[in-house]
Chain A
Amino acid sequence: MGKYLTKCFGRVFYKQHIGFLIASYVLLLGYGLFIKTAGHIPAGQERTIYLVLLLNFVHSPVITLLAFVLWFIYTIRTWFFVIKVSQMPEYLFWHYSATALPYHSQIMAWWWFQLYLSLPMIFYSVLAMVCGIVIGEVNLPFLAVAYLLLLTLISGIVYVYWFNSRALKKTNWLHLTAIVRRFPKSSFSIFFFELITNRKLALVLTKAISCALVIGAVSFFEDVDEPLRFLAILCVGLALIHVVLVYLIQDFFARKMYFLHQLPYHRGVLYINEIIRWFLLLLPEFFLASLFFPLPLLPLFVHICMAGILVLRSLCCFEHINMLRFLKWSFSWFCMAVLFALFDLSVLFSLLNLVVAFIVFYSRYYRRDALA
């Protein structure tokens, strides 16, 4: 049963969260491997220090606790995901098939399944364990492994409880869907409704990281020699941070809103709508930029961010693009954008982005090869 659970729910989970997981690992490993350490480091010791930085929680109870909290949040996210997916028509059969097994078999299968979902944390724990053994600090790594086993076991029990007792009863949880039902919806606003009902986590994380980046950049801004260049790189970074949202929204439109292609909307108007929607979504960053950076730089900030988002969005107009391929293309675009910024050609590059984004949107809008 565990094998089929991983096949049914596990792959879908990783497919939907791959962007977030890759971004987290890039951030963690990037921090550990590329950060410039303060002070004098004797030659030959950099790698050891990077590893110690990366796996700080091996001997720091505070960092370990922080990691445990994050793991707990991740685990709860997996519970909500499985519960939500299990209510979809194609997964309903789990409620009346697997539940016929004895409880201990069910718990074992779900425990195994949760281990599969916890692979990123297991990977991290193993790294911590190796590091701990090397530096002679094994208490916290062993605690981490025990914590993981406990979390996965509790998860197994939660799933079994859900599938056997709760699944077919009415829940009284707060559903945003029920709240947004009262608001009128148009083809323009559906984008926002999808974000706040089904993409809350991605939206909150993206906005938190993005706003943190803007605020963090402020402290460097006055010291940099080339403020325009710095601002341009910050803007392409902001656009890159939004890639997961861009992909999820485009995927939603491709899968659930394809009927819009049957409606007589002018492509030019649709494109303008798209620009306004992303502008509204980036308003918090623009607002922060207006507070912290010189006002004359704001149009440049808006221009580069919007051009970046729109050109990344246009990548999704090509079919057969999955999340991984999209992320690869996005990173390639980012490298190119940084290169242009280093030669002070960001404005030109952004204009080029706007032209490319419009041409791709206009020429690909009616060219879908198949419905998802």
Chain B
Amino acid sequence: MLLIRRLSKRYASRDILNIVEQRFDKGLSCIKGRNGAGKSTLLKVLAGLIDFRGEVILADSIFLKKHPLPYRRFVNFAEAEPIYPSFLSGVDLIDLFIRAKKGSVEETNRFIDKFGMQDYLQNNVSTYSAGMLKKLSILLAFIGHPKVILLDEPFITLDEAAVKQLSFFINDYIVGKQASFVVTSHQSVPDDIPVHHRFLLENCQLFKLS
């Protein structure tokens, strides 16, 4: 689904990523690694947020650098610690993403109901707790018609009920919509989330474990 070739990333003079070739196949891929290993950087690279050397190819035909628009239409991202302008409300951001990613309002409302977000979405994001912000960023990552959803540490700061709902949505998208997930986590993934492929990010390289 997502192929990485000769991907390298440096900050100042320090190598962060140096991956010769790796493929994230259909299903859920979980990347583990110690703090500072470069998991978040890798996801930001795959999301097209930061520059890198090498190639990232979606579905064997959409290149991140050559086809920036189609790639961004089909690859969504939720970051570990999202930051949004304080004067925007959850509703503003959802509207923005629905318009940009051509998402469905009904589908989004289903998420909002299940995640129990309807009470605070009208408020500015500056009033949200870390967990509320996290839910919002995850919701935004599900908007549109993604083929790949990148989730950076999705389970931190979420309460138990929200983790269960997230598991349900992930399963639903893998089975029903043939979407794939790339998830980073340095804690154990909840049992009801099916992990199809495991990776370890170590010494700038990405190793497939199973």
Is A135 interfacial (CB-CB < 8 Å)?
Answer: no
**Known contacts being A261-B49, A264-B70, is A194 close to B87, with CB within 8 Å?**
yes
**Known contacts being A186-B96, A264-B72, A371-B50, is A181 close to B124, with CB within 8 Å?**
yes
Set of chain B residues within 8 Å of A185, measured between Cβ atoms:
88, 92, 95-96
CB of B88 to closest CB in A, whole Å: 6
**Known contacts being A197-B87, A257-B85, A262-B72, is A368 close to B51, with CB within 8 Å?**
yes
Is B77 interfacial (CB-CB < 8 Å)?
Answer: yes
Q: How many residues of A contact B (CB 8 A)?
A: 31
**Known contacts being A264-B100, A366-B68, A370-B11, is A255 close to B50, with CB within 8 Å?**
no
Q: Which residue of B lies closest to A265 (CB)?
A: B100
Report yes or no: B126 in contact with A264, Cβ–Cβ below 8 A. Answer: no
Set of chain A residues within 8 Å of B11, measured between Cβ atoms:
369-370
Partner of A190, one of B50, B85, B97: B85
Instruction: Point out which of A252, A262, A369, A370 has the most chain B C-beta atoms below 10 A from its C-beta.
Output: A262
Is B197 interfacial (CB-CB < 8 Å)?
Answer: no
Q: Which residue of A lies closest to B69 (CB)?
A: A264
Is B23 interfacial (CB-CB < 8 Å)?
Answer: no
CB of A251 to closest CB in B, whole Å: 12
Is A258 interfacial (CB-CB < 8 Å)?
Answer: yes
CB of B45 to closest CB in A, whole Å: 11
Is A170 interfacial (CB-CB < 8 Å)?
Answer: no
Set of chain A residues within 8 Å of B47, measured between Cβ atoms:
262
Set of chain B residues within 8 Å of A184, measured between Cβ atoms:
92, 95
CB of B86 to closest CB in A, whole Å: 7
CA distance A135 to B141 in the complex (A): 69
CB of A155 to closest CB in B, whole Å: 26
CB of B148 to closest CB in A, whole Å: 12
Set of chain B residues within 8 Å of A371, measured between Cβ atoms:
44, 49-50
**Known contacts being A252-B85, A370-B11, is A258 close to B49, with CB within 8 Å?**
yes
Partner of A262, one of B49, B51, B86: B49
Is B184 interfacial (CB-CB < 8 Å)?
Answer: no
Report yes or no: A263 in contact with B72, Cβ–Cβ below 8 A. Answer: yes
Report yes or no: A370 in contact with B87, Cβ–Cβ below 8 A. Answer: no
Set of chain B residues within 8 Å of A366, measured between Cβ atoms:
48, 51, 65, 68
Q: List residues of B (78-129) whose CB comes within 8 Å of A's CBs.
A: 82-89, 92, 95-97, 99-101, 124, 126
Report yes or no: B49 in contact with A368, Cβ–Cβ below 8 A. Answer: yes
CA distance A370 to B87 in the complex (A): 24
Is B164 interfacial (CB-CB < 8 Å)?
Answer: no
Partner of B97, one of A197, A252, A257, A263: A263
Set of chain B residues within 8 Å of A255, measured between Cβ atoms:
83
Report yes or no: B49 in contact with A187, Cβ–Cβ below 8 A. Answer: no
CB of A180 to closest CB in B, whole Å: 6
Is A177 interfacial (CB-CB < 8 Å)?
Answer: yes
Set of chain B residues within 8 Å of A266, measured between Cβ atoms:
69
| B interface residues (Cβ-Cβ under 8 A, vs A) | 11, 44, 47-51, 65, 68-70, 72-73, 76-77, 82-89, 92, 95-97, 99-101, 124, 126
20 contacts between A and B (CB under 8 A): A181-B124, A185-B95, A186-B99, A193-B87, A197-B86, A258-B49, A262-B47, A262-B48, A262-B72, A264-B70, A264-B73, A264-B101, A265-B69, A366-B51, A366-B68, A368-B49, A368-B50, A369-B50, A369-B51, A370-B50
| A interface residues (Cβ-Cβ under 8 A, vs B) | 177-178, 180-181, 184-187, 190, 193-194, 197-198, 252, 255-259, 261-266, 366-371
With A262-B47, A264-B69 already in contact, 12 other A-B pairs whose C-beta atoms are closer than 8 Å:
A177-B86, A177-B124, A187-B96, A190-B85, A197-B86, A197-B87, A258-B49, A261-B48, A264-B68, A366-B68, A368-B50, A370-B11
